[in-house]
Amino acid sequence: MGEQILPDDLLMEIFTRTDPKTAARFRTASTTWRVRLSSDRFRRDNTLTNIGKHRKVLLQIGDPERYGSTQAFCIVNCVGGGREVVPMPEQLGPRGWWTVIGSDCGMICVQYSTNGPDLRLLLWNPLLRIARQLDDPADKLLKQARKLSY
């Protein structure tokens, strides 16, 4: 391992100012960082430093006024209360259907179809507006069953 360039107190100050999710990722870098960034003192300092920084929350899915449109997700600014429409991923398209399967850590898993029984999965982060297509095992089984029945 290379020589440490920054002093420990400066590194801890930098880590304290990062958001909790990033700090959790840093814990996986080494055993030393895991121990330091898992301490009660660091967690307290990190939480107190980050209070009030992250104020947007995904609040609503499927606004009844816009049902079927590409603007069915809204993010709310927790400070001012204003709503911000978040465009849905372009993979969902204007035709077909979609349904939210679940969510975790800000990521939303959407099952959708733009072409009848052709089911697809999409993992989407609405805050970053990044989407990634996933393989749907249920769709593969359905296609295999169709092949066997012919």
The pLDDT tens digits of the residues spanning 84-143 come to 777 778 887 777 777 788 777 778 888 888 877 777 888 888 777 788 988 777 767 777
Domains of the chain, residue spans: 8-51, 56-62+70-134
What's the pLDDT at 67?
A: 46
The pLDDT tens digits of the residues spanning 11-66 come to 889 888 888 778 888 888 888 888 888 888 888 888 788 776 755 555 555 544 54
What's the pLDDT at 29?
A: 85
Q: Max alpha carbon distance in the chain (Å)?
A: 69
The helix (H) or strand (E) run that includes residue 21 is helix 20-26
CA distances from 34 to 27, 31, 43, 94 (A): 4, 5, 12, 46
What's the pLDDT at 66?
A: 47
- Indicate the Cα dihedral angle 131, 136, 139, 143, nearest 10°: 110
Look up the pTM and report it: 0.47
Q: Smallest Cα–Cα separation from 12: which of 21, 32, 143, 3?
A: 32
What's the pLDDT at 2?
A: 61
